[in-house]
Amino acid sequence: MEEKKVIVVGGGITGLATAFYLQKEARDKQLPIKVKLIEASDRLGGVISTEKRDGFVIERGPDSIIARKKSATRLIEEVGLKDKIISNTAGKSYIYARGKLHTMPEGSFMGIPTKVTPFALSGLFSPLGKLRAAGDFILPKGTPKADQSLGAFFRHRLGDEVVDNLIDPLLSGIYAGDIDELSLMALFPNFYDIEQKHRSLVIGLNKSMPKPPKTAKKPGSKKGMFISLSTGLEELIHRLEARLEEGTVMKETAVKRVLKTGNTYQVQLETGDVEAADSVVITTDHFHAQQMLSQYAFMEDFKKMPSNSVANVALAFPKSAIEKDIDGTGFLVSRNSDFRITACTWTHKKWPGTSPEDMALLRCYVGKPDDQEAVDLSDEEIVEIVLRDLNKTMNITAKPIFHVITRWRKAMPQYTVGHLERIARVKKQLGHELPGVYLAGGSFEGVGIPGCIDQAEAAVEKVISHLS
């Protein structure tokens, strides 16, 4: 086969993993494939960004990778970072609701009870709220639907209180979205299947959840379900960059358009230059992807696909400044509370070793779906809001030693009702009209880091099959 050129657009984790695995496959299978990765900004990593300061490792974006999904661990090991993997402390976590902090009820899986007693005893819900949740045992299953919102589905089964005080805060922490807009089938199709099969979510979950193997955890084991890197997640980005063949990466170069010319493509850059390619993997957010292919009507859907903004606010204190220290790793905030923060992680407890011994690092988020303007406030205003909310639960007397605020504008893509159908339609049209052009990344088929790496691996397979 004559040499083929693949252009990967975007250098976040999806683009980097795509370029890395493409080059690996090409080497292993001796395929004459040249890869170029084009990134608009002056750094790689996209939303993965770590700041190191005064002995703290501060994640400006993601901080946790779910350990159960193996593609991320595999990639981390592949680039030689196995010895840097750390696990979170499985401490207590809390929800702020009905005016105070409540321990997360034991046995809840994404907010759905799998044990009745901890729910019955929890102060998170009123007696009426609990009674309504028990409706799950008797209510008939919902009528089969192609899709529905997470909110509609869970409200029907468990009632508003369980949704607003538990499920919504847990899901908002991941998707930063409105539970009444997000798609059940794109995010948790397994819950729909459970309802259709077992009627009751509580009974169905108990029946279908794999029982932990007896040897899985030593008694007293404090390891949680997430992993990270002791030196910060950006280390994975640096390692990937270093493992790419020389001359692969082009930074500070935005792609403007992708045009089809016969069986190949022209990738037009903002600089006015043009790069020819036999295959193109677009790993940017959906807004930029739409602009690159704006001549195609089937990409119009992405103009309407929403993305939310959040600000990540890290505050450093001496431990002595936290007068009311609470045992645990952090708290989430219920939908109806008067807080403007949505979550707070006690990072020094969740990730021991990432703060100096006598220091505390609190990492909070602002920017509820109905409070997007919070992200645009000044640093001083944001710090004031965060401290005011924190002081309702923790009693912090001092000002932070420093703060690091990162505003992520339109960086949380929203998989709203109908998402799977829209993606399937776009992929089908892409296949017809632009064979060899693929979309991958957080906007499309999985928002978490492992989901992005899975998409990168799938794109590599498709590119190789297309080229051969």
Closest CA relative to residue 282, chosen from 257, 306, 304, 310: 257
Burial of 288-325, coded b for 16+ CB within 10 Å and e otherwise, reads bbbbbbeebebbebbeebebbbbbbbbbbbeeebbeee
Number of residues that bind ligand FAD (CB under 6 A): 36
Give the Cα separation of 450 and 453 in Å (integer).
5
Task: Tell whether residue 408 is a contact of ligand FAD (CB under 6 A).
Answer: yes
Cβ distance 319 to 357 under 8 Å? no
Q: Does 448 bind ligand FAD (CB under 6 A)?
A: yes
Scanning 199-207, 375-383, 393-401, 406-414 for contacts with ligand FAD by CB under 6 A, the matching segment is 406-414
Q: Which residue has the tokens 């400006």?
A: 60
Q: Residue 387: enclosing H or E segment and its boundaries?
A: helix 379-391
Candidate residues 119, 279, 442, 460; the one interacting with ligand FAD per rule CB under 6 A: 442
Q: Does 328 bind ligand FAD (CB under 6 A)?
A: no
Minimum separation from the CB atom of position 288 to ligand FAD (A): 4
SS percent in the chain: helix, strand, coil, step 5: 35, 25, 35
For residue 31, state whether it binds ligand FAD (rule: CB under 6 A). no
Site for ligand FAD in 236-255 (CB under 6 A): 254-255
From CA 357, how far away is CA 217, in angstroms rounded? 27
d(CA 104, CA 95): 6
Side-chain half-sphere exposure of 222, counting CA atoms within 13 A: 11
161 vs 168, beta carbon nearer ligand FAD? 168
Which of 8, 45, 405 lies closest to 235, judged by CA? Answer: 45
> Which of 250/430 has CB closer to ligand FAD?
250
Q: How far apart are CA 155 and CA 177, in angstroms?
A: 16
Between 11 and 204, name the residue whose CB sits nearer to ligand FAD. Answer: 11
- State how far the Cα of 385 lies from the Cα of 381, in Å rounded to an integer: 6
| 11 touches ligand FAD by CB under 6 A | yes
Per CB under 6 A, 201 contacts ligand FAD: no
β-bridge pairing 33-38 and 4-9: parallel
193 or 273: CB nearest ligand FAD: 273
Asked whether position 6 contacts ligand FAD by CB under 6 A, the answer is: no
Q: Which amino acid is at 137?
A: F
Q: What are phi and psi of 387, to 5 degrees?
A: -65, -40
Give φ, ψ of 156 to 5 degrees: -60, -45
Considering only 285, 389, 445, 454, the residue that binds ligand FAD (CB under 6 A) is 285
Q: What is the DSSP letter of 416?
A: B
Q: Which residues, including other chains, have CB under 8 Å from residue 322's CB and lie 6 or more apart?
A: 360, 394, 395, 396
Using CB under 6 A as the binding rule, whether residue 439 contacts ligand FAD is answered as no
Query: Which residue in the shown chain puts its C-beta closest to ligand FAD?
Result: 46
Residues facing 360 on adjacent strands? 317
Nearer to ligand FAD, 183 or 200 (CB): 183
Site string for ligand FAD, 288-327 (x = CB under 6 A): x---------------------x-x---------------
Could you count the other beta carbons within 10 Å of the beta carbon of residue 385? Answer: 20
Taking the complex as a whole, how short is the minimal distance between the CB of residue 265 and ligand FAD, in angstroms?
Answer: 15
Q: Tell me if 50 contacts ligand FAD by CB under 6 A.
A: no
Closer to ligand FAD by Cβ: residue 35 or 47: 47
Pick the closer one to ligand FAD by CB: 191 or 365: 365
Interaction of residue 436 with ligand FAD, rule CB under 6 A: no
User: Closest CB to ligand FAD among 281 and 396?
Assistant: 281
Q: Which of 13, 133, 244, 305 binds ligand FAD (CB under 6 A)?
A: 13
Is 369 one of the binding residues for ligand FAD (CB under 6 A)? Answer: no
Closest to ligand FAD by CB, 163 or 453:
453
Residue 194 CB, shortest distance to ligand FAD, in Å, is: 24
Binding site for ligand FAD (CB under 6 A): 9-15, 38-41, 46-48, 61-65, 254-255, 283-285, 288, 310, 312, 408, 411-412, 441-442, 447-449, 452
